Amino acid sequence: MAKRIFNFNAGPAALPLSVLEEIQAEFLDYKGCGMSITEVSHRSSWFDEVINDAVLRVKRLLNLGENYKVLFLHGGASLQFTMVPLNLIADDQVADYVNTGSWSVKAIKEAEIIGKKVRVVASSEDRDFNYIPKDIAFDADAAYVHITSNNTIRGTQWRSFPDTGGVPLVSDMSSDIMGRTFDVAPFGLIYAGAQKNLGPSGVTVAIIRQDMLERVPDNLPTMLKYTTYAAKNSMFNTPPCFAIYVLQLVMKWLEETIGGIANMEEINRKKAELLYNYLDESDFYRGTAEKEDRSIMNITFRLADESLEETFIAEALANGLGGLKGHRSVGGCRASIYNASSLEAVQALVSFMAEFERKHG
């Protein structure tokens, strides 16, 4: 077997090894059907079983009631920046957005492009998005409140979700869904690109409440309406079958191997605590996010001597630690420690960081 590295990429990101091995074992002959899962019809009983099981597992893991639909969409979270306002803001309505970084900025921009009215009610841009705004005044008449639950680029995360006074919450949870427990009841819509915590790139999950589905106008293009997907179990047209299949296996791993999201959260917090404790005790490295708002998924840091960062990233890769380069828009370093990234991986990273500090400090 080829040597595998510890993968800290921000997305597409690490997948559980046992899931990859299961895919490998049945790739040429799925469940004895004589075909790969990439070849079977999406109208077949084989794929029906895959997509229905994926939906059920997402519902169980997030404790979703019957008033929520789980949809599998194309276009990534980026298409959701358009679909959300297109479907959920009526002509006489305004939606509240909280700006916590690049993905929030893009969501706001896309809503404005299609002529929807949005109001930025809070922003952390004044300090380079290194914190989450507090004590926000929301409009009781807003169509919804949009937040990005976790900022992959700046390494911040909503520790607790805002009280909107009953206005539906809409959240881009691409980078921390299934990573911690939370109460889904305030959320009218959650969307997430799969390629960080759910599976491979190519499928986006949308979890939408029935009352939000009832808002969808009839006169939208067919493939841009949530109701199209809800009515046809996400199979109005050919869905991203392979990506849904892998997502189903990841959900099975999370349920049956990890034991659910509460157990996963405990592991994730241990991983984050280990790395943050090392950063806090070192003068050689420094974290970039405010401590009270630090993400447990994306840990961003700089070296005190920033000229050493390229060397650090190159030497880390040579030592089997990949994906540590920060986002191109901000530079620096970033360790993305999503669900499939093991405690062993973080321990190896901390050991390398200590040795690099000893050599170059």
Exactly one of 96, 172, 176, 293 is catalytic; name it.
Answer: 172
Statement: residue 126 has pLDDT above 70? yes
Spot the catalytic one: 103, 176, 293, 325.
103
Model confidence pLDDT, tens digit, residues 71-109? 999 999 999 999 999 999 999 999 999 999 999 999 999
pLDDT of residue 338: 98
150 pLDDT above the threshold of 90: yes
Q: What tokens appear for 100 in the block?
A: 């916590």
Are 356 and 312 spatial neighbours (Cβ–Cβ below 8 Å)? yes
Q: 150 - beta bridge partners?
A: 157
Strand partners, 287: 301
Which amino acid makes up residue 253?
A: W
Q: Are the folds of 18-258 and 260-360 the same?
A: no
pLDDT of residue 361: 86
Matching residue, tokens 């959650």? 190
Statement: residue 18 has pLDDT above 70: yes
141 has pLDDT over 90: yes
Active site residue 109: no
For the question of residue 134 being annotated catalytic, the response is no
Check whether 1 has a pLDDT greater than 60. Answer: no
- 18-258 topology per CATH: Aspartate Aminotransferase; domain 2 (3.40.640)
Nearest to 352 by CA among 2, 8, 4, 1: 8
Q: Is 163 a catalytic residue?
A: no
Q: What is the pLDDT of residues 168-192, one digit of tens each?
A: 999 999 999 999 999 999 999 999 9
Distance CA 32, CA 309 (A): 50
Options 69, 116, 196, 325, the catalytic residue: 196
Residues 260-360: name the CATH superfamily.
Aspartate Aminotransferase, domain 1 (3.90.1150.10)
Contact 242, 72 (CB under 8 A): no
pLDDT tier at 3, thresholds 50, 70, 90: confident
Tokens 């999370």 correspond to 254
> In this predicted model, what pLDDT tens digit does every residue of 281-309 receive, in sequence order?
999 999 999 999 999 999 999 999 999 99
CA angle centred on 73, ends 72 and 78, rounded to 5°: 130
Token representation of residue 130: 């290194």
Spatial distance between the Cα atoms of 285 and 203, rounded to a whole number of angstroms: 36
Q: What is the rounded distance in angstroms from the CA atom of residue 242 to the CA atom of residue 51?
A: 10
- Beta carbons of 98 and 134 less than 8 angstroms apart: no
What is the maximal distance between C-alpha atoms in the chain?
64
Half-sphere exposure of 161 (CA within 13 A, CB side): 25
pLDDT tens for each residue of 247-288 = 999 999 999 999 999 999 999 999 999 999 999 999 999 999
pLDDT, average across residues 150-176: 98
Report the share of the chain in percent with pLDDT over 70.
Answer: 99
For the chain, the domains span 18-258, 260-360
